[in-house]
Amino acid sequence: MIDRNSNHIVTHGFSNPASEHLYKTVWREEPEAQAKYRSGWDCVGCNFFAALNSDWGVCCYKRSRHYTETVFEHFTCRSHVNKPDGEGSTFSDYHLYRNL
């Protein structure tokens, strides 16, 4: 028998208990993520956040350790990428490198 991926989309809470713990402890052991959170950098403003409803979405950034997790819109991580000015999510980080 072939093993098949059996992902289940979670739309009402964190899909990863470790990420929920980070949020509940305000990234106590991750100062870089904590600083981003306190500066207002949350998932709803990330270019790789795919909203599922008004509170929850999926991280779509392959460089984030939270990739494919369901996260709260006010969650954040060290890999957060702000949306380009005046644009919705493009799910690309090209704008970070085009002016280098």
Residue 93 is predicted with a pLDDT of: 82
Q: From CA 91, how far away is CA 81, in angstroms rounded?
A: 10
49 pLDDT more than 80: yes
Residue 4 is predicted with a pLDDT of: 57
Q: How many domains does the chain have?
A: 1
Task: Output the pTM of the full model.
Answer: 0.83
Residue 93 lies in a domain: yes
64 pLDDT more than 70: yes
User: Is 89 within 8 Å of 49 (Cβ atoms)?
Assistant: yes
The whole domain housing 29 covers 17-97
Residue 4 lies in a domain: no
Residue 67 lies in a domain: yes
Residue 2 lies in a domain: no
Residues 6+ apart with CB under 8 A from 1: none
Average pLDDT over residues 22-28: 96
21 pLDDT more than 70: yes
Residue 11 lies in a domain: no
What rounded mean pLDDT belongs to the chain? 88
Q: From CA 72, how far away is CA 59, in angstroms rounded?
A: 10
Residue 8 lies in a domain: no
5 pLDDT more than 70: no
Residue 63 is predicted with a pLDDT of: 93
95 pLDDT more than 80: no
Model confidence at 85, pLDDT cuts 50, 70, 90, reads: confident
Residue 12 lies in a domain: no
Residue 92 lies in a domain: yes
